[in-house]
Amino acid sequence: MLNSSKTALITGITGQDGSFLSELLLKKGYEVFGIIRRSSTPNTSRIEHLLDNPSLHLCYCDLTDSSGICRIIRDIRPDEIYNLAAQSHVGVSFDQPEFTAEVNALGVLRILEAVRTAGLSHKTRIYQASTSELYGKVHEIPQSETTPFHPRSPYGVAKLYAFWIMKHYREAYGMFCSNGILFNHESERRGETFVTRKITKAAARISLGSNEVLTLGNLSAKRDWGYAKDYVECMHKILSHSHPDDFVIATGETKTVREFCTASFERAGIELVWLGEGLDECGIDKATGKTVVKVSPEFFRAAEVDLLLGDPSKAVSELGFNPRKTTFRELVEIMTDADIAKQKAVLEKQGTF
Ligand code: NAP
Ligand code: GDD
C-alpha cells in the first residue's frame, strides 16, 4: 500500500539496516531522507542502487553534530525518524568507549531535543535501534521486554542510556518514541568484521581455493540470529503501531558461533571436524585434513555476552511479526551463496576462475 504523503529520516542509511529500510520505505511511497557522513572514500555502496531514485535525498550530518541534526529535522519536519546510526561494533566499543557513548547515547538525546525544540513532539514518530546487548549477562532465558538489563560492553551501556532516554521523552513529553530491541540480524550486506560475515566470506574464499585460515575468538558464544531484511519490516510496523512501545524482535532460536561456522562451510562444500579445546580448538577440513579455522585471543572481549535468546511473543501478537520467515539455515545459505558469487566474480576478473 502506498503511503505517498509520508516523510522519513533515516540515520545510518549507509549501514546494513539503513539500506534495507530505505528500500522498504521507498517501495511504500515515502520521501526518504538519509544522513550520511563525510568520508575520504565512498561509503554509499549499500545504497548505490537507490541513488537515482528521486524520492531519496541524502544530507551530510553526524550524530555528534547537534546543530546539523537540529537544522535537518527543522527543515524536513519528518513524520518518522529511524535512528539506526551507531558505532555498532561491540568489540570496537572497548577500544573507543567515549566515542561510542557520544554517538550511541548522546546522539539519541540530540535527535530527541531537535524534535522537541522544533515543535514536532506530536508529529514526529521516532524509532530507536535498541539491542539485545542490553541483556548482556542475562538474568533469564529467553529474554523478553520484561527481562532486566545488564550490559557487558561500552556499546551496551551507551545503548542502555539511549533506551531509557527514549522512554523518558515518551513519558515526560508524550512523544511517540519506540525502542526495537533487536537481536542479532545479519545479511549478505553485513559488515565484514561481524562474526557471521567474517565466516561466510572466509568459507567462500577457502572453498574457491584460498589457503587462508579463518581466525576467530569465542566459538561458544550463542546468538539468536535473524535476517536483517525481515527485521526492518518490524521497524516500520513499530512506528505504525497504535501507540509507542518497546518490542523484542528475535527468532526464538539460538546457535553457537561454531554451529554457524559448520553450517556455512557445509554450504560452501567443506565438511568441518572440530578438534581440541579453548585456544587449541580448530576446525579441520575433513576431506583434506587441513586446518581452516583456528582460535586467537585477539578476538576475545574483556567481558562477553555468552547467550542471547529472544522471546518475540509480543511482536508476534501485536505486530504480526513472523519469526520463522527466514530460518537459520536459509540465512546461512543466503550469506554464504552471496559471498561465493562475489568471490567468483573477483577470481573471474583476475582470470583465475
Ligand atoms: P552498521 O551496518 O554498522 O551501520 C551503522 C550506520 O551508522 C552506518 O550508516 C554508519 O555510517 C552510521 N554511523 C556511525 N557513526 C555515525 C555517526 N557518528 N553519525 C552518523 N552516522 C553514523 O549497523 P547495522 O547492523 O545496520 O545496525 C543498525 C543499528 O541497529 C545500529 O544502531 C546498531 O547498533 C543497531 N543494532 C544492530 C543489530 C544487528 O544485529 N545488526 C542488532 C541490534 C541493534 P558509515 O557507513 O559512514 O560508517
Ligand atoms: N566480531 C567477531 N569477530 N566476533 C567474534 C569473533 C570474531 O572473530 N569470534 C567470535 N566472536 C563472537 C563475539 O565474541 C560475540 O560473542 C559473537 O561472536 C557475535 O559477535 P559479533 O558478530 O561482533 O556481534 P555482537 O553480538 O557482538 O553484536 C552485534 O549484535 C548486537 C545485537 O545483539 C552487533 O550488530 C551489535 O550492533 C548489536 O547490537
Q: How confident is the model at residue 352 (pLDDT cuts 50, 70, 90)?
A: confident
76: pLDDT confidence band, cut at 50, 70 and 90?
very high
The catalytic position among 7, 14, 100, 131 is 131
Report in angstroms the alpha-carbon separations of 336 from 40, 212, 332: 30, 17, 6
68 C-beta neighbours (distance < 10 Å), count: 17
Residue nearest to atom 16 of ligand 2 (CA): 221
| Ligand 1 atom 44: residue of nearest CA | 131
Planar angle of CA 200, 204, 207, nearest 5 degrees: 135
Confirm whether 98 is a catalytic residue.
no
Which of the following is catalytic: 133, 186, 188, 233?
Answer: 133
pLDDT, tens digit (0-9, with 9 covering 90-100), for 107-149: 999 999 999 999 999 999 999 999 999 999 999 999 999 999 9
pTM above 0.95, yes or no: yes
- Of all ligands present, the nearest one to the C-alpha of 22 is 1
Instruction: Calculate mean pLDDT across residues 232-240.
Output: 98
Best of 44, 82, 84, 143 for a ligand 1 pocket test (most atoms within 8 Å of beta carbon): 84
* 133 in catalytic set: yes
Q: Which ligand 1 atom is the nearest neighbour of the CA of 12? A: 9
Tell me which ligand sits closest to the C-alpha of residue 256. 2
| CA dihedral of 247, 314, 144, 229, whole degrees rounded to 10 | -50
Tell me what the mean pLDDT of segment 196-202 comes to. 98
Do residues 232 and 191 make contact, with C-beta atoms less than 8 angstroms apart?
A: no
Among candidate residues 30, 82, 127, 155, the one labeled active-site is 155
What tens digit of pLDDT does each residue of 146-182 get? 999 999 999 999 999 999 999 999 999 999 999 999 9
CA of 117 to the centre of ligand 2 (A): 37
- Model confidence pLDDT, tens digit, residues 293-324: 999 999 999 999 999 999 999 999 999 999 99
* Cα 121 from chain centroid (whole Å): 27
Task: Judge whether 318 and 182 are in contact, CB under 8 Å.
Answer: no
User: Does 1 score more than 80 pLDDT?
Assistant: no
| Protein residues with CB under 6 Å of any ligand 1 atom | 11-12, 14-18, 35, 37, 39, 43, 62-64, 84-88, 103, 129, 131, 182, 184-185, 191
